[in-house]
Structure 1
Amino acid sequence: MTTAIAVLWSVWLAACGSSAGSDGASSAASSANAQTLSTSGAALHRDGAFMVDADNRVVLLHGVNAVWKLKPYYIPQTAQGFTAADADFLAANGFNVVRLGVLFAGVMPQQGVIDQNYLDQVDNTVQLLAAKHIWVLLDFHQDQYNEKFQGEGFPDWAVSPSLLPNDAHYGFPLDEFLSLALNGAYDKLWANHGGIWDQYQAAWAATATRFRDQPFLLGYDLFNEPWPGTLWATCFEIDCPLFDATLQKFQQQALAGVRSADTSHFAFFEPQQLFDFGAPSRFGKIDDPALGLSWHSYCSAELLSSTGLPDLPDCAILEPRTAGNAATQSAAMGATSLLTEFGASDDLGDIGRVTRLADQHLVGWTYWSYKSFGDPTGAAGAESLFSDDTDLSTLKAPKADLLIRPYAQAIAGTPQAMSFDTTSKAFSLTYVPRSSTAPTEIFLPARQYPNGYQVSVQGAQVVSAAGASLLRVMNNAGASQVQVTVTAAR
């Protein structure tokens, strides 16, 4: 995207958006002792707006995306890709979920033929994560449909012949707005041209069959960033109920494929892509007990990250709006909510805003992206956690300071509020206790508390060892509310 077009688009987005107790003390925490929330890996389930574990604790997730968009569409077990060292890094720093890319082009490279070897290769990464008790969300990822349009996701056989010349040469995401050929391909998808929906459903059925018994499987993200095709202009600022109805129908058919094999794990719907920039979504109620809304939050911070220009006002307007839209849409669907993409740049102001919003809305997240993974539609290294993807010692410290943060991984109650002040290092959690014999578990990274921390608890008792990076508190019998406050030791 050229700088001029990026600026104009962001200004327009901004204009559109504007219309609308007992005390205890712990000493130095050690990230080497970091643990994740569950030891069983049993499927999580939904209780109202929240994900809940087998011990009846509300679960919050912080993690990353890991998507290899290039052929052969799975992450290699190399230093540039993903190895046991990467799984160790994530677990040690409190990340308890990974949104892992699985491409339709890899699952069904030939029409009607499932490539089991491809799923085996995906499983290599799944096993590395499960061994560290990190939840895995399998994501059927696509951007700009197919390599023919400078994107990825759909196999070549799913690209129907067209009389239009291939004019997808503007780059991501401008091709989505300007390419007639690309938008024509999406139009054919949403019209179920050639019965493509049945093939997509079959690919999901095969994937769910392969992974349904996998411990630490969070579930399935049914379609990354659905682009409305030629209807995109009707979906920017106003409702586009016609496309939303079609998209819901498409994802419900994909859901049927998943549910033919797996009725336990979460299945996440995604709204049309312009939702990411503040547009609404109007999915109706969906009768499924393990339903989720997977949503993204982006603004000019990502569009301008490679230009050196400052953020425009749209971010402060659109990011809260998107979070509010997600809460409204997930409630209307009868679903839990997970922010599955944000960031994609080294813009610290943007990352800080979105993580604060996630805490305010008590929603988990997966940052885009763990590494760059040769992303053809990404921001050339800016999105990664590392300066050099092959060297974990090159962690970008300012970004890590925002993402490796205190949070409640498992709450023996219904959360009311959670916050972390990146300046003072004060963390606070308030919840109403619920029936559970397991403790509330709060990750407290040494990165934030190098000299240790102090804990003040009302309505519960600290039961973890001094200095533990996973603070555990047990509810007091009869307590009507629990409040936990953590401050940095001096």
Structure 2
Amino acid sequence: MAGCTEATSGLGGTGGDGGTGGAAGVGGAEPPLRHYIRDAQGRALVLHGLNVANDAKSDPLRVGATTREFVLHMARVWGFNVSRHLIFWDAIEPEPGVYDQDYLARVEERLDWYAEAGIWVVLDMHQDVYSQVFCCDGAPEWAVRTDGIPYEQQDIWWTNYAEPAVQRAFDNFWDFDGPHADVQAAYIDAWMQVVERFHDHPAVLGYDLMNEPHQGSMDTSAFERTVLPAFYDRLIARIREVDTERWIFYEPTAFIVNPGGPTDLGAVTDAREGSPRLVYAPHLYDPTVFLGVGYNGPAAIERWEANRIAELEERHPAPLVIGELGEGPSAYFADVFTMTDRLGAGWVRWSSDPFYSAFANGREPDDILDLVRVYPRRIAGDPIDFAFNPEHRVFSLVFAEREGVEGATEIFVPEARLYPDGWTLQVSDPDGSWTSDWDPDRRILSIVTDPTQAQHVIRIDPGGP
């Protein structure tokens, strides 16, 4: 096959430069029981991608500058297979009960681009500081209920969350039994407009219920234990009246969790029959990088990992996807991706804007080398372990056979970028019992393994003739 100079069987195990073979979590502890989003053939999905796009917040049309060509480039050159695509309540429902079909048509046009590219989409109902009325984005003006409390704009956008008017707007939104109960009800109705229109679209993987929900003036722990999960359950139940198949992404609050702290978010219930299709989607921003100090090592990432493991084990037995992964230097991304591979987690980089700007100007984004990796997009079984070592350019995957799974395991291999002198493939299944196929246009290696083998080991190494 083109690109692969050798394909052999009999790989007995992995380790060494590949970094697999029972990777341990923080402090040597085993990682939590992994849960995965699965496709229609039962294959486990590993998601790598971009949030699209921050510039939509300030665009009068609320869609941003992203083009079809850029979306195709995301998939075919960089290998991304997911977009967390921002949508906005004020764009959907600019007046009470009036839904902007032109805006939804613009969203649908972009969903068609993603479908063409083979990119999954998570529709993210985005808010920052509740509404454009304050500083940022989210609720329409008519849904901002401050009870007359004045608002004073602060220079640093996220400090506006502390403004009493902003907190009162959130308090009134969350008070579902209070005098402003119509606000949350309208938010749910707006979501239903989205779900009813897009639930059958082939690109749509799921729905992110609210970006970085904020507690307003309430105690954060009490809010996360009671108010927030009740809201999620209420909204999920409505979505399941129309769509029982798409995955539902939910988040804890951001201020403590994003830099690595714990959350008290209570368990969330999926109203669908059968196994739940929920995805735990906290965000990750290194605190010193976020504050402009620079990257000071993996301590915050290790704390983030330890807290997420505890939450997955105790209250959130769901696939883990980092809904927003903040920027940082190469060392930061190396530490993060070692962690996400260890956890079997997906990630979505915030945000696509600098990548689009570079693409539009005919150059590579500054940190694209940190993000473009060999990774298993679809795994035809139960993943046990996978890792990519960027220094040695070695990838390894271990997975168990799973009854009922069909199709090939698909691995993105950025051949020209990482393997200009070729690469070798090893598979542990007996010789002649497995097959592989290389798609040079999509840079996808597809491997059909032997269903009689309980476990499969795949390894890719650099190497030429």
In the superposition, the TM-score normalised over structure 1's length comes to 0.80
Any residues of structure 2 matched to 1:271-286 within 5 Å, and which? 271-273=252-254, 274-277=256-259, 278-286=261-269
Corresponding residue for residue 473 of structure 1: 447
In structure 2, give the amino acid aligned to 1:433. E
CA offset at residue 254 of structure 1?
2.0
In structure 2, give the amino acid aligned to 1:473. I
Contact 1:464 1:472 in 2 (8 A): yes
Structure 1 pair 139–477 and aligned structure 2 pair: CA distance change class (3 A): closer
CA offset at residue 295 of structure 1?
1.4
Match for residue 463 of structure 1 among 432, 436, 447: 436
Task: Please list every run of at least 4 consecutive aligned residues from structure 1 whose deviation after the TM superposition is greater than 6 angstroms.
Answer: none
Corresponding residue for residue 375 of structure 1: none
Corresponding residue for residue 418 of structure 2: 448
Structure 1 pair 87–145 and aligned structure 2 pair: CA distance change class (3 A): same
CA offset at residue 73 of structure 1?
5.2
In structure 2, give the amino acid aligned to 1:97. V
In structure 2, give the amino acid aligned to 1:269. Y
Corresponding residue for residue 264 of structure 1: 245
Structure 1 pair 114–346 and aligned structure 2 pair: CA distance change class (3 A): same
Contact 1:137 1:220 in 2 (8 A): yes
Contact 2:43 2:406 in 1 (8 A): no
CA offset at residue 335 of structure 1?
2.7
Q: Tell me if 1:185 matches 2:169.
A: yes
Corresponding residue for residue 252 of structure 1: 233
Taking the aligned partners of 1:84 and 1:27, their CA distance within structure 2 comes to 34
Aligned residues: 418
For residues 207-253 of structure 1, the C-alpha deviation after alignment (integer angstroms, 9 at most, x for no partner) is: 1000011012101000000112223xx54xxxx14443101111222
Contact 1:462 1:471 in 2 (8 A): no
For residues 120-165 of structure 1, the C-alpha deviation after alignment (integer angstroms, 9 at most, x for no partner) is: 1111111111111211110000111112221111111111144432
CA offset at residue 75 of structure 1?
1.8
SS of residue in 2 equivalent to 1:356: helix
CA offset at residue 111 of structure 1?
1.4
Contact 2:338 2:387 in 1 (8 A): yes
For residues 15-59 of structure 1, the C-alpha deviation after alignment (integer angstroms, 9 at most, x for no partner) is: xxxxxxxxx98149xxxxxxxxxxxxxxxxxx9711111222111
Structure 1 pair 386–54 and aligned structure 2 pair: CA distance change class (3 A): closer
Q: Tell me if 1:63 matches 2:33.
A: no
Contact 2:34 2:344 in 1 (8 A): no
In structure 2, give the amino acid aligned to 1:135. W
SS of residue in 2 equivalent to 1:487: strand
Taking the aligned partners of 2:420 and 2:139, their CA distance within structure 1 comes to 47
CA offset at residue 96 of structure 1?
0.8
CA offset at residue 389 of structure 1?
6.1
Taking the aligned partners of 1:408 and 1:350, their CA distance within structure 2 comes to 22
Taking the aligned partners of 1:346 and 1:311, their CA distance within structure 2 comes to 7
Contact 1:100 1:139 in 2 (8 A): yes
In structure 1, give the amino acid aligned to 2:96. Q
Unaligned runs of 5+ in 1: 1-23, 29-46, 372-383
CA offset at residue 484 of structure 1?
1.0
Corresponding residue for residue 85 of structure 1: 69
Corresponding residue for residue 81 of structure 2: 96
Structure 1 pair 48–287 and aligned structure 2 pair: CA distance change class (3 A): farther
Contact 1:456 1:485 in 2 (8 A): yes
Taking the aligned partners of 1:337 and 1:474, their CA distance within structure 2 comes to 26
Deviates more, 1:479-488 or 1:275-284: 275-284
Identical counterparts, % of pairs:
27
Structure 1 pair 117–285 and aligned structure 2 pair: CA distance change class (3 A): closer
Q: Tell me if 1:142 matches 2:116.
A: no
CA offset at residue 112 of structure 1?
2.0
Quote the RMSD (CA, aligned, Å): 2.4
Taking the aligned partners of 2:246 and 2:374, their CA distance within structure 1 comes to 27
Contact 1:66 1:99 in 2 (8 A): yes
Q: Tell me if 1:369 matches 2:347.
A: no
Taking the aligned partners of 1:116 and 1:25, their CA distance within structure 2 comes to 47
CA offset at residue 107 of structure 1?
1.0
Any residues of structure 2 matched to 1:58-457 within 5 Å, and which? 58-67=44-53, 68-72=56-60, 74-76=62-64, 81-92=65-76, 93-176=78-161, 178-192=162-176, 194-195=180-181, 196-231=183-218, 234-235=219-220, 240-273=221-254, 274-277=256-259, 278-288=261-271, 289-305=276-292, 309-312=293-296, 316-331=298-313, 332-343=315-326, 345-371=327-353, 384-385=354-355, 388=358, 390-391=360-361, 393-397=362-366, 399-435=367-403, 436-446=405-415, 447-457=417-427
CA offset at residue 462 of structure 1?
4.0
SS of residue in 2 equivalent to 1:142: coil
Contact 1:266 1:291 in 2 (8 A): yes
Taking the aligned partners of 2:180 and 2:406, their CA distance within structure 1 comes to 53
